Amino acid sequence: MRKNKLFNWIIMGIFLLLASSPLYAEDGSHDTLSTVIQVMIAITVFFVIIVLWLVMVYSEKNDTEGSGLKKFFGSKKPVSVEEEEKLLLDHEYDGIRELNNRIPPWFNAILYGTVVWAAAYMIYYHVIGSGNVQEEEYAEEMRVAAMQHEALASSGALIDENTVTITNDVADLNKGKEIFDKNCAACHGVDGGGIVGPNLTDNYWIHGNDIKDLFKVVKYGVAAKGMPTWEKQLTPKDIQDVTSYILVKLHGTKPANGKAPEGDLYE
Amino acid sequence: MNVEKFSYDNQYPKLFALATIFWGVVALLVGVTIAIQLYVPALNLGIPYTTFGRLRPLHTNAAIFAFVGNAIFAGVYYSLQRITKARMFSDVLSKIHFWGWQLIIVAAAVTLVSGITTSKEYAELEWPIDIAIAVVWVVFGINMIGTLMKRREKHIYVAAWFYIATFVTVAVLHIGNSIELPVSFLKSYSVYAGVQDALVQWWYGHNAVAFFLTTPFLGLMYYYLPKAANRPVFSYKLSILHFWTLIFIYIWAGPHHLLYSALPNWAQSLGTVFSIMLWMPSWGGMLNGLLTLRGAWDKVRDDPVLKFFVIGVTAYGMSTFEGPMLSLKNVNALAHFTDWVPAHVHVGTLGWNGFMTFGMLYWMIPKLWRTKLYSKKLATVHFWIGTLGIVAWVIPMWWSGITQALMWKEFTEIGLLKYPNFLETVLQIVPMYIIRSIGGTLYFTGLLILVYNLFKTIKQGSFVPEEEAEAVPFDRTPEPVKYGMIHRYIESKALLFTALVFLAIIVGGLVEIIPTYLVKSNIPTIASVKPYTPLELQGRDIYIREACNSCHSQLVRPFRSEVERYGEYSKAGEYVYDHPFLWGSKRTGPDLHRVGKKYSNMWHYLHMQDPRQMSPGSIMPRYPWLLEWDMDKESIPAKISAMRTLGVPYPEGYEDQAIADLEKQANEIANDLIQNGIDADPNKDIIALIAYLQRLGTDIKNEVAEK
């Protein structure tokens, strides 16, 4: 029996050393806080193991052979209600008897599993990691949000009929021409002189001449006049580009065969 | 050895049991009332003393310390004598314990509704009552340990291990958390400030759950469940394992109440990992309870006592699984400050504490009165109504908690808060509040059935104050300690056992609290954070008096959604002069840490007069008395000097100038209000409260400005 005990203590000592050695392997560049953290973790691990160890070693009566470890993980099968007499302990309290059933293996597995997980968690975040867990998470969350914001801004998703402005950017206007030629020219003519749709080059406008007005017409369409809704096909940025192209490039040109003015005159 | 004749004292188990029933009715009635107030704010009848902020601590204190507390004492006084084969140590101590505890409860009820509170959850009582609690608790401890010392059983049964842990730990927690500096007879400030106060408070608060609501009830379970089922306890081995791991690990888990807060990260992580490790030790109790019923499940079918125990133990298992899950940081990021937390708590309190208590009473009262239960049928009806009540309470609160959390965090496609107006998220869950109050009412109805049933039982029986018993004293010659029998040895030494329990429970608290206190880098100071002005300090005390922190947090968590909604997230250094901290634990209303300068003085004035003037549909009660009550200026010098003692850097002699400064600032605010057409009086409470609210969270902005 004594030999077993000694053996168990040695095993525990090795385990403790293994568990705590990475904590001290860091270089000397730490401030007080991380030193404290390391000591905390070491103490934590130490006490958890001590407590579990005590329980493990002494949790059984002295009636079976083998070491603490063996007894603890013991091979005894769970005992049925009929056979339980064998497991009854020899004491009773006010008529209450106690059995000494084995601890379910899944119970031990999860218990020690969580202990290992806990040690890994602390080491991962506070020994390997910087320990500034929530500050880093916050910075990451804000970085992702900023990236999304940027993407939205460049895709023009932040643009709508209330915020839209004319863009004079050459690339934007070229993109606008591309969109116009592909989607609008069929009705308004490549030169904007108007075919089925009205002339876009003169000073007469049916729904207003502001970029915001044009944006709205393109986005939602004008069902009564056969102008389709474009918001499902063009992004807000596309609509900004194409309406800007109309106002900057097409408007004021005098295409041959331009359609007669429609709507009100805007000077 | 000779058989000794003695008698068990049934008098105090009886008194405690009756007190349990009485305070149970009170606690639940107040609970139902405040549940309804959440959707009918006018139910306070316009009276300060019945307003949510004051009734909520009354409910929690009455439920925990009056109802559950008396149930623990009833159960312990009855069972301890029998498992030790000894009469309680001293009838005088029993008497002091019983009447002292009831007096404390009455004092608590009176002070809490009067707004006399420290604001620290489940530790709201002011310092004279704190001292009384400590004294009475120690009386209980002496009575218990004394009984163990003169026991006639050689070994201490597992139920008593849990009783010992309860006594030792609650004493440590209560004293540790209640260290406060009195300003006057009924006012004190916590010696801890800000982050440290938060850590100490939740070390206490979490372990009040552990050692007032959990360990004593596990002890009771180990006595009453096998007695009622007439079955042996499933596993002695498991008892040892889960007892020691439970008490050791529990104490560390407090910081899980402060995840994503200004608490240092390492302490938060300890809170998380220890909560996860707590899962199996908690379930050990559940397993030993449920598996003890092996071979007795047929009895469960027709014995209401066992029915209550089964649901009670199952509820314990559920909430001790939910607890570790809520302690995972990603789950907590969602659930904290929402209704999910009260849902979690009430699975434990209604299911575990309530049902275990009911089962115990149905079993014990007939025993004490030498009769049978008046009606098994009524007890079964109580069981079903109660179970339905729990379900109708908890499910809507889970639903509402998740709804709130998702609404608080949701962004639109273009990166704006989907529900920028907090009120929208409140109105969404009002139907859930209504269903919850119905659940509470059902549960309360069940308790009334119990009252009737036990009243009838008592009437048909005859009480036996002294129950004759006999036992052989155990052989006190020391036995050699043998390997494999060490625990058996410890069980035979009451004082040694108590000392080991003390060691196991003291480690976690010390490791977490001491570094937070001593290591400077844990609380980085912020130069622009200055002490409160006298008027603001006064306003802060009004905030505490009205328990605004029952519904409003003062902690912006480091999430994009919160920063977007409230402003910069809260830093540890901002709270260094907050004695006590006021982070709160629930957002029934929005966070207030950055409310300073967000609204005009007039807005606050009108909002306090009637919140619905400014926020139509708001469920906040009106506070018209703040506009009428005179400010307590005389207490200011004493408060300033107390704060200086606690380390707040008011200059020497500032006391003499404080009242003048207070009046100057009050006049400025009143003048601003008057200019806006409000007939304001600078001497009223409202002025101080506005001053405080306008200051909240603004110091850090000055730092940015200085840069």
- Pair (A65, A185) in one structural domain: no
What local confidence, expressed as pLDDT, does residue B150 receive?
A: 93
What local confidence, expressed as pLDDT, does residue A24 receive?
A: 40
pLDDT tens, position by position, A71-91: 555 545 556 666 777 777 778
What local confidence, expressed as pLDDT, does residue A5 receive?
A: 52
User: First-to-last CA distance in chain A?
Assistant: 107
- Pair (B297, B405) in one structural domain: yes
**Three-class SS of residue A192?**
coil
Other Cβ atoms less than 10 A from the Cβ of B92: the count is 10
Residue A185, φ and ψ in degrees, nearest 5? -60, -30
**Rounded distance, CA B149 to CA B147, Å?**
5
Residue numbers in B near A157 (CB within 8 A): 413-414
What local confidence, expressed as pLDDT, does residue A266 receive?
A: 87
Name the residue in chain B with its Cα closest to that of A145: B415
**Rounded distance, CA B571 to CA B395, Å?**
35
pLDDT tens, position by position, A153-182: 777 777 888 888 898 899 999 999 999 998
Residue numbers in A near B240 (CB within 8 A): 55, 58-59
Beta bridge partners of B630: B684
- Chain A contact probe: residue of B195, B260, B280 with most A CBs at under 10 A: B280
Indicate yes or no: CB of B482 within 8 angstroms of CB of A47.
Answer: no
Indicate yes or no: CB of A94 within 8 angstroms of CB of B227.
Answer: yes
**Rounded distance, CA B144 to CA B463, Å?**
24
What local confidence, expressed as pLDDT, does residue B65 receive?
A: 97
Q: Which run of H or of E encompasses B513? A: helix B494-518
Indicate yes or no: CB of A81 within 8 angstroms of CB of B504.
Answer: no
DSSP labels, B390-428: HHHHHHHHHHHHHHHHHHHH-B-TTSSBS--SHHHHHHT
Look at the block and give the residue holding tokens 């990475």: A22
Does the structure show a pLDDT above 50 at A64?
Answer: no
- Pair (B137, B245) in one structural domain: yes
- Pair (B494, B538) in one structural domain: no
B488 CB within 8 Å of a chain A CB: yes
List the structure tokens of B699.
């110091």
What local confidence, expressed as pLDDT, does residue B704 receive?
A: 61
CB-nearest partner of B236 from A47, A100, A142: A100
DSSP labels, A122-139: HIIIIIIS-S-HHHHHHH
Q: In terms of residue numbers, what domain contains A27?
A: 2-131
H-assigned helices in B114-252: 127-149, 158-177, 194-208, 215-229, 236-250
- Pair (A27, A109) in one structural domain: yes
Name the residue in chain B with its Cα closest to that of A112: B277
Does the structure show a pLDDT above 60 at A4?
Answer: no
Biggest CA-to-CA distance, chain A: 113
Which residue positions in chain B have pLDDT lower than 50? none
**Whether A19 contacts A119, CB under 8 Å:** yes
pLDDT tens, position by position, A245-265: 999 999 988 888 888 888 888
What local confidence, expressed as pLDDT, does residue A186 receive?
A: 84
Q: In terms of residue numbers, what domain contains B594?
A: 534-706
Nearest to B346 by CA among B326, B316, B369: B316
- Pair (A7, A114) in one structural domain: yes
Residue B69, φ and ψ in degrees, nearest 5? -55, -50
**Three-class SS of residue B190?**
strand
**Whether B49 contacts B506, CB under 8 Å:** no
Distance (Å) from the alpha carbon of A125 to chain B's nearest alpha carbon: 8
Dihedral over Cα of B183, B188, B192, B198: its sign: negative
What local confidence, expressed as pLDDT, does residue A21 receive?
A: 42
B248 CB within 8 Å of a chain A CB: yes
**Rounded distance, CA B72 to CA B86, Å?**
19
**Rounded distance, CA B420 to CA B407, Å?**
9
CATH of the domain at B640: 1.10.760.10
Average pLDDT in chain A: 78
pLDDT tens, position by position, B120-144: 999 999 999 999 999 999 999 999 9
What local confidence, expressed as pLDDT, does residue B701 receive?
A: 81
Residue B635, classified by CB atoms within 10 Å of its CB into exposed (0-12), middle (13-18) or buried (19+), is middle
**Rounded distance, CA B316 to CA B214, Å?**
9
In a domain, A163, yes or no: no
Nearest to A91 by CA among B65, B443, B158: B158
List the structure tokens of B325.
């899950």
Indicate yes or no: CB of A91 within 8 angstroms of CB of B155.
Answer: yes
In a domain, B364, yes or no: yes
Indicate yes or no: CB of B273 within 8 angstroms of CB of A122.
Answer: yes
In a domain, A40, yes or no: yes
- Pair (B204, B253) in one structural domain: yes
pLDDT tens, position by position, B390-438: 999 999 999 999 999 999 999 988 788 999 999 999 999 999 999 999 9
- Pair (B589, B695) in one structural domain: yes
**Whether B62 contacts B24, CB under 8 Å:** no
Burial A161-189 (b: 16+ CB within 10 A, else e): beebebbeeeebbebbbebbeebbbeebb
User: pLDDT over 70 for what percent of chain A?
Assistant: 69
Residue numbers in A near B504 (CB within 8 A): 51
Indicate yes or no: CB of A121 within 8 angstroms of CB of B272.
Answer: yes
Does the structure show a pLDDT above 60 at A57?
Answer: no
Looking at A116, A131, A146, which one is the last position of a domain? Answer: A131
CATH of the domain at B409: 1.20.210.10
Residue B161, classified by CB atoms within 10 Å of its CB into exposed (0-12), middle (13-18) or buried (19+), is buried
In a domain, B524, yes or no: no
List the structure tokens of A161.
């009929």
- Pair (A77, A185) in one structural domain: no
- Pair (B169, B101) in one structural domain: yes
In a domain, A113, yes or no: yes
Q: For chain A, what is the domain count?
A: 2
In a domain, B262, yes or no: yes
- Can you give the length of chain A in residues? 267
ipTM of predicted complex: 0.91
* Contacts of B280 by beta carbon, 8 Å cutoff, 6+ apart: A107, A110, A111, A114, B242, B245
**Whether B309 contacts B243, CB under 8 Å:** no
- Pair (A124, A176) in one structural domain: no
Indicate yes or no: CB of B273 within 8 angstroms of CB of A117.
Answer: yes
